[in-house]
A and B are shown apart, each in its own frame.
Chain A
């Protein structure tokens, strides 16, 4: 399987936070969702790939090439959408587009105009006059206008209403149809990912907790609920975290199938959503 992005033993130190031993791959032609609590390292990771931040050690290969040695070449194939706007605010949208277009050999001006129209973005308006949602849309528009092979997005849907998010996700699915493009996007809105992602990487405190196909996660992870205190009697396989509620106990396991066979009589089991997983991992921390 070809990988669009390969990350090996990546390390970046800040004062008070370290990204360590980060290794995972993004297979070509798929959508990878990146989740994790605020401050876990999602934005740092994306910035490291784009070499906006210098790594301390480790390797990042994009399209099989080292991301620093072939920086310029690789970036001509990457579309990016960051969480904080980074455009010159007093410049018109069409001027900004015109300034960056020559940098991309595959820039498609007709496609750009079409997308601007689709997103209802006025070409003649200055960037600062746009609402937050429109700023995001503009970022996305630019990222999609040069036939990028890799699209990196850092919380692209934050602040967008559900209707537009759905349209966006539909558009992203459309883009992914040709199976040549790869997408990495980080978000806090896990329900969006459950709709579109093929793979999920969870990052927490600067470390990768898991990086697997979404289907696997949804099949193998689950929540066991019981009125009895199951932890007293049984060792739950794959225990990640638990919460004591008014009704009893809720436990998240990464191996629901085995867990079910052990305690089916005393409990019910449910599918875990990505949000549940994040929640219980955090709980697991506090109990540890």
Chain B
């Protein structure tokens, strides 16, 4: 597995430099602007998978490098596992950068204190895993162009919903309700007391989500013809 991770890191070097720069700027900005750690947590769990998982897949697609990767002495399942592990390693690394920065340069060390708590760390993992469960297999099956199309489709659906609800004259609308419930769910998770039971549920959920992501992605990747 190590040789796989090394391969992913070497092949995506240029992307990693951009990523490292971005993460550094991100943390500097968060601390400077005094942005709440919670918001940074949510933001990270959305942005990191895009950077770490989707962009690697996009590069592979751009250079048609799957021909190379799939011709190496390995099998496709291992390639996907390697990609997932590398992505997670980078995402955790990005978090650690933030924690260290906070420890060294942030007066109130709010970020450090936040993420060092098991509950918040696990919630971060959970949010990230939830996003990953949709993004990772989707990118593997449909590629980056699929993601772009998907985003456009979502936007169109959003617009249609807004238009329909405005036309029907009702005050609230489906979109608002959905977004509100998502935000409420996230608040609930963040605010829930850190009981043993809760922590166990979080760990279990993260594990299940990632195993599902892995298996489903492997299934999709195995079926592709290059």
Contacts and interface: CB of A to CB of B under 8 A. Distances in A.
Given A52-B70, A103-B3, A91 B75 contact: no
B111 to A, nearest CB: 33
Interface of B: 3, 6-7, 10-14, 59, 63-68, 70-75, 78, 223, 225-226
Given A52-B70, A72-B74, A75-B73, A88 B6 contact: no
B13 A86 contact: no
Nearest to B226: A52
24 contacts: A52-B70, A52-B71, A52-B225, A52-B226, A72-B74, A75-B71, A75-B72, A75-B73, A76-B73, A86-B65, A86-B67, A86-B68, A87-B65, A87-B68, A88-B12, A88-B63, A88-B65, A90-B14, A99-B6, A100-B68, A102-B6, A103-B3, A103-B72, A103-B74
B7 A99 contact: yes
Given A52-B70, A88-B65, A91-B14, A72 B75 contact: yes
A70 B63 CA distance: 27
Nearest to A71: B75
Nearest to B9: A99
Contacts of A78: 71
Nearest to B3: A102
A89 interface: yes
Contact of A100 (B7, B12, B14, B63): B7
Given A53-B226, A86-B65, A103-B3, A91 B11 contact: yes
Given A72-B73, A103-B73, 18 more contacts: A51-B70, A53-B225, A72-B75, A72-B78, A73-B73, A75-B72, A75-B73, A76-B73, A84-B64, A84-B67, A86-B64, A86-B66, A86-B68, A87-B65, A91-B10, A91-B11, A96-B11, A103-B7
3 residue pairs, one from A and one from B, having the closest CB atoms: A76-B73, A86-B67, A102-B3
A138 to B, nearest CB: 12
A95 B10 CA distance: 7
Given A86-B68, A87-B65, A99-B6, A104 B11 contact: no
Nearest to B8: A99
B66 to A, nearest CB: 8
Interface of A: 47, 50-54, 71-76, 78, 80, 82, 84, 86-91, 95-96, 98-100, 102-104
Contacts of B10: 91, 95-96, 98-99
B73 A88 contact: no
Given A54-B225, A95-B13, A99-B7, A88 B59 contact: yes
A146 B61 CA distance: 27
Nearest to A44: B225
A71 B68 CA distance: 15
Contacts of A103: 3, 7, 72-74
A89 B63 contact: yes
Nearest to B10: A99
Contacts of A90: 13-14
Contacts of B63: 86-89
Contacts of A84: 64, 67
A102 B10 CA distance: 13
Contacts of B67: 52, 82, 84, 86
Nearest to A77: B73
